[in-house]
Amino acid sequence: MSVLEKHIHEPKIAYFSMEIGLRDEIPTFSGGLGILAGDTVKSAADLNLPFIAVTLMSRKGYFRQEIDNEGHQTEHPINWDPSKLMKRAAEQVFVSIEGRNVLVQAWIYFVESPRGGIIPVIYLDTNLPENSAEDKILTDQLYGGDESYRIKQEVVLGIGGVRMLRKLGFQIKKYHMNVFTTHTPVEAGHDKFTYELFNKVFGNYFPENIMKKLAGEKNVNMTLLGFNLSNFVNGVAKKHGEVSQSMFPGYQINSITNGVHSYTWTSENMKNIFDKYLPGWANEPEIFVRVGAIPDDEIWAAHLKSKKELIEYVNSVSGTDMDVDTLTIGFARRATAYKRADLLFTDLERLEKIGTGRIQVIYAGKAHPKDEPGKKLIKSIFALRDKLKGKIKLSFVENYNMNIALKLVSGVDIWLNTPLRPLEASGTSGMKAAHNGVMNFSVLDGWWIEGHIEDFTGWAIGEPDKNMNKIDADDLYHKLENKIIPAYYNDRKHWIRMMQNAIGKNAYYFNTHRMMRRYVTEAYIR
């Protein structure tokens, strides 16, 4: 009997994603999009939805990040053994790539919810002796290689995935393409290929004149192709929906704002008090509405425990001497220019005046191997660390992953986010922070436009829709000096009230249980 026997009777929603981040031991993710996919699958399991996910094996992962003392990033492949965690299916399928038949196999991982739901996740893999050397490595590296590697991966995932689902005996009632979600609303966020490359790789799956009607006359625009072949299209936050709508005026674009999986992204210390005062919260995050039932001293004590754990960890891995009593700011995200990791340092003199002895800052984040400006950004943070020595403590934790993310979002006091508007389609790490009673201090972009209430759930930086480094930095310094530092050191009661609001307003709403219920009612059963 196939390991899937129990799962093939009910028609499913099939969820396709280039990356899925379920746990660090399965390193087939690079960042936000993959973690969102993992959280989606986990909520689907908790809610017992008829759901199946398909992704690529990424045998070498994204990469392990090593940073030397000058801030220079080196990338290492991650070698992991799928057979320790997954079952290999006996079924195999072929896809045609550049006229060759490429054999694809599937590994199956089951995401099991304590509520009884089980979701199979299919990892497609071309590492088979029947394949040529160049085809064997097609599912090795996430976002590695060139354009041609990318389009071949899309053939393996898209065509290979559909064929594999059929071969395994599944009936599919809807396809959800997280693949074509442009999670960053800029031109470069849309995959485009020349017809020359496309025809070379793709051969004659379908006639070029039809392709041109669906994907564009000049290039194969994958976003356009997605629009033309979908019944329902959505942005991942209200603003993202609006911005995408203005880029593609001919299509109706809805929005379903992202969330995070509450249980995954709540620290052990917070879980304990949630279990005590808000039983049932993990499968019904609406229960966070009763956050006021948690006594102030207990919520503070839980936070302090997480903070202590984080500071000990950071000191041990980065050789700094951070302390638990200082207001701690966290900033961890993909190291890429638009996220402006260096905005905090726009005016060093002013920062020193406001922050010396009062704040410390912890950074983490990987730069894509080909993103030179992103790598430079990491180096500049290291240079600033040395420059600020003796005044403001700064550390950079290498190899940002899920485990480190949870430590950070639960152990810092505030979560800083400074993207150029409107490039942060949603952002999710701030939602993780909110689950741990950590307030956001962020530019009004992505989800924060919907989650922000000034001095209540957190603080905004700058004006909506205006991008001026100087204005943003000025506002950042002003609020740090006049609101955040005074509240943290002199008005603990107000601070704890805000922590509760982060949970009761932000975590209450920005979770994948709410998100999945909306996908079901607005997209899947239409």
- Report the interface residues with ligand PLP, using CB under 6 A: 31-32, 35, 333-334, 400-402, 405, 427-429, 432
**Nearer Cβ to ligand PLP (183/505):** 183
Rg of the chain over CA atoms, in angstroms? 23
Min separation Cβ 310 and ligand PLP, Å: 15
Min separation Cβ 405 and ligand PLP, Å: 3
Residue 207 has a CB neighbour count (10 Å cut-off) of 9
**Nearer Cβ to ligand PLP (139/428):** 428
**Nearer Cβ to ligand PLP (126/178):** 178
Min separation Cβ 401 and ligand PLP, Å: 5
Min separation Cβ 486 and ligand PLP, Å: 27
**Nearer Cβ to ligand PLP (105/417):** 417
**Nearer Cβ to ligand PLP (377/402):** 402
Would you say how long the chain is, in residues?
Answer: 526
- Taking the C-alpha atoms of residue 465 and residue 422, their distance in angstroms, rounded to an integer, is 7
Min separation Cβ 316 and ligand PLP, Å: 20
**Nearer Cβ to ligand PLP (326/457):** 457
What one-character-per-residue DSSP string does 144-196 give?
-S-HHHHHHHHHIIIIIHHHHHHHHT--EEEEEESTT--SS-SGGGS-EEEHH
Min separation Cβ 127 and ligand PLP, Å: 25
Min separation Cβ 339 and ligand PLP, Å: 7
Packed helices 268-277 and 296-318: angle between N→C axes, nearest 10 degrees = 170
**Nearer Cβ to ligand PLP (35/311):** 35
Q: Which two tokens stand for residue 441?
A: 């201090």
- Decide: 111 and 128 in contact? Cβ < 8 Å: no
Alpha helices in 173-282 (DSSP H): 195-202, 208-215, 222-228, 238-247, 268-277
- Taking the C-alpha atoms of residue 103 and residue 106, their distance in angstroms, rounded to an integer, is 10
Min separation Cβ 215 and ligand PLP, Å: 28
Beta strands 100-112 and 118-125 are antiparallel
Beta strands 64-67 and 51-56 are unpaired
**Nearer Cβ to ligand PLP (113/401):** 401
**Nearer Cβ to ligand PLP (401/457):** 401
- Decide: 122 and 169 in contact? Cβ < 8 Å: no
| Chain Cα centroid distance, residue 310 | 21
Min separation Cβ 65 and ligand PLP, Å: 11
| Contacts of residue 318, Cβ cutoff 8 Å, sequence gap at least 6 | 395, 396, 397, 398
